[in-house]
Amino acid sequence: MTELINLNLKGDSRGSLVAIEDRQIGFAVKRVYYLFGTNMGVARGFHAHRELRQLAVAVAGSCTFILDDGKARRSIRLDDPCLGLPIAAMTWREMIDFSSDCVLLVLASEHYNEADYIRDYDLFRAAVASPALDQPC
């Protein structure tokens, strides 16, 4: 299962800077998006991606990821802008418990493609069990 990775913090008397390079995260970044202003009690995600790889960083505030590879489920609190959460392909994710100041930055290995999403948990479990039978809509 996924572990958090330490990002490259460059701090000096002026403050902090974090640099993320593709050689550290294992994929070239084709897309960047960020979530902010998430309302209290809202849960997001509830899908997996067939091919997409991502790295999520709570650059401000905090939120919790629930990651499920079809065999085991784990919960990871993101609350440090110096830690990145790699999310492999074929991982079901749910995001909960956003703080009101949370800014969640996500680096993605591919352009946006709705056909890459699996938004039904039973289909996800079936695809994990039998990858050859999985067909994008």
| Interface residues toward ligand T46, by CB under 6 A | 31, 33, 35, 44-45, 54, 56, 93, 106, 112
Closer Cβ to ligand T46, 11 or 136, answer by number? 136
Written as six digits, the tokens of 1 are: 């299962």
| Rg (alpha carbons) of the chain, rounded to whole number | 15
Q: Give min distance, CB of 104 to ligand T46, in A.
A: 7
Which H or E run contains 103? strand 103-108
7 or 107: CB nearest ligand T46 = 107
Q: 72 with 92: CB under 8 angstroms? A: no
Catalytic: 111? no
**Closer to ligand T46 by Cβ: residue 17 or 33:** 33
Q: Least CB distance from residue 61 to ligand T46, whole Å?
A: 15
Report in angstroms how near the CB of residue 87 gets to ligand T46 at its nearest.
6
Q: How far is the CB of 26 from ligand T46 (least distance, A)?
A: 17
From the candidates 18, 35, 36, 47, which is the catalytic residue? 47
- What is the Cα–Cα distance from 24 to 46, expressed in whole angstroms? 27
At residue 131, φ and ψ (nearest 5 deg) are -55, -35
Q: What share of the chain is helix, strand, coil (3-state, %, to 5)?
A: 15, 45, 40
- Active-site positions? 47
